[in-house]
Copies of this chain bind each other. A is one copy, B any other.
Amino acid sequence: MGVRYLTAKLAQQIDEELMNAAGAFSLDQLMELAGLACAQTLAKVYDSKRYPRVLVCCGPGNQGGDGLVAARHLGMFGYKPTIYMPKPGSKDIYKRLQAQCTNMDITTLEPSTSVDSLRDALSSSDVILDAIFGFSFKGPVRVPFDSALSLISSSKLPIVSVDIPSGWDVEEGNASGVGLEPDVLVSLTAPKEGVIAFKGRHFLGGRFVPKAMEQKFELNLPSYPGFDQIVELPRTSEANSQKL
């Protein structure tokens, strides 16, 4: 039996339990490990020599925070990341994570609803890390992300999406057709129902789920190799996965 694909509701519940008494994790910790897993996934597939310039696209929520952490680690790995974060979240943690990037000479494009800066940044990037929308996304896609998704798509650059490709419904996938079509996906904790038919390379990150929680939610997680923070999943098919 393959890994379980989560509904939006279940993903939310697991996220909450990781931070309440059952997990006892802080948001700082989970974001650090999630962002590290995202950076490692990109580094595993796109070599820093051939793809040095990474445009890290961050949304206003926690997934944007994962993106900021990933940008910092990518800088440490020898990439030249640039951050596109047109609507910075208001939580203090995002400010701290962004300051960490600034301290490492990672540029954040000026927040603005204009998409000109995004267009310029795309023309001087080699690969995209898509950390715009996560498992709590509800459509439709709003300004400025509507234009952003369309510009990113038309750039034809390779895309690594975090958890759910931006614009996809968490359970129904890219039914609307406005979502990104990534080459690589890194699911966090467990994959979501919407990506069950995803055909690209698919990694899992979030090596922090306690065994008791894994069993309670029947996640049936694969074994991570050695001391890696990511594991590549076999190409998915309806046959080897379990819906609720």
Contact = CB atoms under 8 A, between A and B. Distances in A.
A227 B104 contact: no
Pick the most buried of A29, A33, A72: most chain B CB atoms within 10 A of its CB. A29
Count the copies: 2
A100 interface: yes
B24 A227 contact: no
Interface string A21-41: 111111011001100000110
Q: For the complex, would chain A's binding face be called helix, strand, loop or mixed by DSSP majority? A: helix
Interface in A167-225: 207-208, 210-213, 224
A105 B211 contact: yes
B103 A24 contact: yes
Interface extent on A, as a size class?
A: 20 to 34
A23 B39 CA distance: 20
Nearest to A208: B76
A151 interface: no
A43 interface: yes
A235 B26 CA distance: 38
